[in-house]
């Protein structure tokens, strides 16, 4: 075995150990297994499916190559994870990459009715500006309380996509079964999906699936961090758009 193959094998072993240490190999109970996941299962222990991490590594490599290329092209990546285990991780990922995220709940039509969503985002930012400048002081105390409640509701639902002025180029989803509406909307619009998918998910719905534990914080954090780093590395090698030539004489 030559040095390159040895290094590659050692790298794969190291990755598998890392995934094992964060519990990435734990699936759901066998009764919940989606048929598309059958080839990813290593075995079953005490009725719980065990994921074949070698196959997870292969899927992960393809997904990260895709993410890295999108980073290189400065594409917009939308992070989606609304279940409790994923919310904070998704928020931090969005802030780290300065890219949009949805962490509270997916509002139907976020993609398929994007112009309406943008109007609601504009309402949110408009109310924030009015509150900061004192323009809401003309209202009664009760009216201001109601406006504050509305602002808070809008913040929970739309603060992560304030800067998303156009449809995203791709989605990174934690648990596509849980985020079925987001997945459905993205598929309708042919927006590629990268997803951390547990054993109860339909892998056929996902362009770049990462079959692994999508329920534990340690596993979600591990794979999200991999996606963040792949995107950042891609951006480092991005080629800036050429500046328009000065045609003035």
- 249: its two tokens: 């004489």
pLDDT of res. 11: 52
Contact 222, 24 (CB under 8 A): yes
Looking at residue 247, its pLDDT comes to: 52
Q: Are residues 105 and 60 part of one domain? A: yes
In a domain, residue 70? The reply is yes
Please state the domain count of the chain: 2
* Residue 61: inside a domain: yes
Range of the domain at 173: 18-111+167-236
Same domain, yes or no, for 101 and 204?
yes
Same structural domain for residues 107 and 150?
no
The answer on 75 and 40 residing in a single domain is yes
Residue 218 is encoded by which pair of tokens? Answer: 């340690």
Query: Do 171 and 191 meet the contact criterion of CB atoms below 8 Å apart?
Result: yes
Q: Which of 142, 160, 178 is the last residue of a domain?
A: 160
Q: Within 10 A of 128 (CB to CB), how many other CB atoms are there?
A: 15
Position 249 scores a pLDDT of 40
Token code pair at residue 189: 């619009």
Whether 33 and 126 map to the same domain: the answer is no
Residue 191 included in any domain: yes
Asked if residue 32 and residue 152 are part of one domain, the reply reads no
Residue 232 resides in a domain:
yes
The answer as to whether 155 is a domain residue is yes
Residues 200, 213: one domain?
A: yes
Whole-number Å distance between alpha carbons of 225 and 67: 12
Q: What percent of the chain has pLDDT over 90?
A: 83
Token pair for 176 = 């596509």
Residue 2: what pLDDT? 54
CA–CA separation, 137 and 152 (whole Å): 17
Q: Which of 99, 131, 160 is the last residue of a domain?
A: 160
Phi and psi torsions of 193, nearest 5°: -120, 130
Q: Tell me the per-residue pLDDT of 80-104, one tens digit each, with 9 for 90 and over.
A: 999 999 999 999 999 999 999 999 9
- By the 10 Å C-beta count (0-12 exposed, 13-18 middle, 19+ buried), 181 is classed as middle
Task: State which residues of the chain have pLDDT below 50.
Answer: 1, 3-8, 249
pLDDT at 138: 86
Q: Is residue 247 part of a domain?
A: no
Same domain, 57 and 131: no
Domain holding 100: CATH number?
A: 3.40.50.10490
- 3-21 vs 53-72: helix crossing angle, rounded to 10: 100
The structure tokens 């929970």 sit at: 156
């Amino acid at each position: 075995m030559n040095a390159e193959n040895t290094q590659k094998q050692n790298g794969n072993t190291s990755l598998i150990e890392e995934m094992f240490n964060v519990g990435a190999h734990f699936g759901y109970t066998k009764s919940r297994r989606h048929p598309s996941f059958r080839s990813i299962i290593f075995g079953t222990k005490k009725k719980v499916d065990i994921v074949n991490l070698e196959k997870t590594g292969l899927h992960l490599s393809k997904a990260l190559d895709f993410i890295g290329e999108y980073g290189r092209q400065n594409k917009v990546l939308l992070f989606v994870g609304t279940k409790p285990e994923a919310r904070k991780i998704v928020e931090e990922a969005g802030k780290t990459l300065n890219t949009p995220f949805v962490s509270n709940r997916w509002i139907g039509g976020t993609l398929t009715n994007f112009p309406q969503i943008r109007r609601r985002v504009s309402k949110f930012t408009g109310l924030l500006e009015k509150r900061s400048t004192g323009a809401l002081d003309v209202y009664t105390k009760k009216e201001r309380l109601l406006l504050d409640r509305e602002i808070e509701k809008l913040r929970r639902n739309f603060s992560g996509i304030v800067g998303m002025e156009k449809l995203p180029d791709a989605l990174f989803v934690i648990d596509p079964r849980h985020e079925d509406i987001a997945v459905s909307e993205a598929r309708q619009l042919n927006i590629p999906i990268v997803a951390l998918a547990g054993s109860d998910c339909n892998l056929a719905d996902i362009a770049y699936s990462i079959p692994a534990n999508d329920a534990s914080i340690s596993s979600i954090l591990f794979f999200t961090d991999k996606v963040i780093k792949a995107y950042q590395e891609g951006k480092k090698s991005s080629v800036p758009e050429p500046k328009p030539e000065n045609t003035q004489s």
